[in-house]
Amino acid sequence: MTTRTSLTIVLAAGEGTRMRSSLPKVLHPVAGRPLLAHVLAAAPHGEGDKLAVVVGPDHQAVADETSRLRPDAETYVQAERLGTAHAVLAAKDAIARGADDLLIAFGDTPLISSETFARLREPLRNGSALVVLGFRAVDPTGYGRLVVEAGQLAAIREQADAGPAELAITLCNAGVMAIDGRIALEVLEQIDNANKKGEYYLTDAVGIVRKLGLTASVIETDEDEVRGINTKAQLAEAEAVMQTRLRQAAMAAGVTLISPETIHLAADTTFGKDVTIEPFVVIGPGVSIGDGAVVHSFSHIVETSLGKKTSIGPYARLRPGTSLGDGAKIGNFVETKAAQIDAGAKVNHLTYIGDAHIGAGANIGAGTITCNYDGYNKHRTEIGAGAFVGSNSSLVAPITIGVGAYIGSGSVITRNVPDDALAVERNDLSVREGWAKRFREAKARVKKPKES
Ligand code: UD1
Ligand code: CA
């Protein structure tokens, strides 16, 4: 048993070839968060641990996301896509600094946990020079097969290079590897590209370690934790696994999910106590839900904070920048964006509230629209506490409706309304007694009414 402390982590996050997308593979989201972000969150964060992320050429967006999530990380560019070992060696400078352990992971396995990363390093303490994370695949197609002889890992054979006996192996390479830092660079530099694909395979490190007379070993984990994402179909499978996990965690924390399999959560959704979520709700990133809140069916919520005892939907669409004070209520067919809606305010039907602040206890009638956009700029609407906005009003921003003010239904409001004032914008109502009856009689003399 040796003491090993220092650690370098290399994360290969260059391009995959089969996503058929202009978005870099590792920026595709699972549960509202990029694949890369999931792996970075699980990767060791110990003090002194060095993290190097290898990105593909023209992938500034991946480098930016890396520094946003882990400001301590170094990024290296792999100019050509020549294989996983070639990708890892793009971070040669980081590896050459020589930590006790080198941990290598891929940016396309978002379901991996921090416990597994920690477990992978253990055999290095007991004399292994290299440890591979393995799993039993239901369908091993596409994965590297782990060839085990006499209880030791002898080689990893990639799909393209495997013979029939090797293809039948279901123990597969998850793509995560720990190598003794003292030999890591030497081993990686011996890898060549003499294989069917002409790529530098990281997996060849196993054979090289064995040739040096050292031991390679395997630790196993569940397939669901290490699904690698090469295609859109695999992206969808990972999403399904992640959603199941998130729903179970929410229910374990006391959230009532009615028909959980129809509720879509994000990796960062937070819940208070006694929250209820009805069937068919989609929650995107950046949502926090307060104690006792109820989210009714068919609501769609992104970057929103819901206060205690709020009620949303059915059919509410809460867009980024929405925040609801305690007891506020958003009803059906209401859309909000950049809207602060204070405690007890109600926006119950068929309304758009954008770039607005609604004071506590205000009541916004059905069909109210904040006209926030003039085709060039967005403007703000301020509605005072306790104000009453009658149905089908248009509030042409920038505009302020005073505290306790009253807006007559159907008004188009273009000037500020003082506190406690009534504003009504309407033509005089004209009522002509008997007109409709006379109209019908005149028409009936020439034509029968259409059957409906
Ligand atoms: C790799 C493994 C395979 C394993 C599987 C697990 C090799 C040769 N094969 O295959 O044994 O079962 O992962 O998911 O290692 N990358 C780069 N630059 C490159 C090539 C890849 O940055 O030149 C990155 C990719 O973005 C990806 C990761 O490395 O995140 C893995 O590459 P990928 O092409 O997906 O390897 P697989 O064919 O899945
Ligand atoms: Ca892969």
Q: Is the pLDDT of residue 17 over 70?
A: no
Same fold, 6-226 and 232-423: no
Positive or negative: CA dihedral 80, 82, 88, 89:
negative
Write out the catalytic residue numbers.
349
Label residue 58 by pLDDT band (50, 70, 90).
Answer: confident
**235-269: string of b/e by CB count within 10 Å (b at 16+)?**
beebbebbbebbbeebeeeebebeebebbbbbbbb
pLDDT in tens, 206-230: 999 999 999 999 999 999 999 989 9
DSSP notation for 75-131:
EEE-SS---HHHHHHTTHHHHHT--SEEEEEETT-TT--HHHHHHHHHHHHTT-SEE
pLDDT in tens, 243-263: 999 999 999 999 999 999 999
pLDDT in tens, 369-408: 999 999 999 999 999 999 999 999 999 999 999 999 999 9
Ligand 2 centroid distance, CA of 83 (Å): 11
Which residue has the least CA distance to atom 1 on ligand 1? Answer: 175
Stretch 4-27: mean pLDDT: 88
> What's the pLDDT at 154?
96
Query: What's at 55, amino acid-wise?
Result: V
> What's the pLDDT at 451?
76
Q: Is the pLDDT of residue 452 over 80?
A: no
Range 232-423 has CATH code 3.30.56.10: no
Ligand 1 centroid distance, CA of 42 (Å): 18
The DSSP bridge pattern shows strands 316-318 and 300-301 to be parallel
Ligand 1, closest atom to CA 109? 14
Stretch 350-357: mean pLDDT: 98
Domain boundaries, the chain: 6-226, 232-423
- Indicate the pTM of the whole model: 0.91
> What's the pLDDT at 391?
98
Query: What's at 336, amino acid-wise?
Result: T
Ligand 1 proximity of 204 Cβ (cutoff 6 Å): no
> What's the pLDDT at 1?
52
Distance CA 397, CA 386 (A): 19
Ligand 1 proximity of 14 Cβ (cutoff 6 Å): yes
> What's the pLDDT at 151?
87
> How confident is the prediction for the chain on average, in pLDDT?
96
What homologous superfamily is domain 6-226 in, according to CATH?
Spore Coat Polysaccharide Biosynthesis Protein SpsA; Chain A (3.90.550.10)
Q: Is the pLDDT of residue 448 over 60?
A: yes
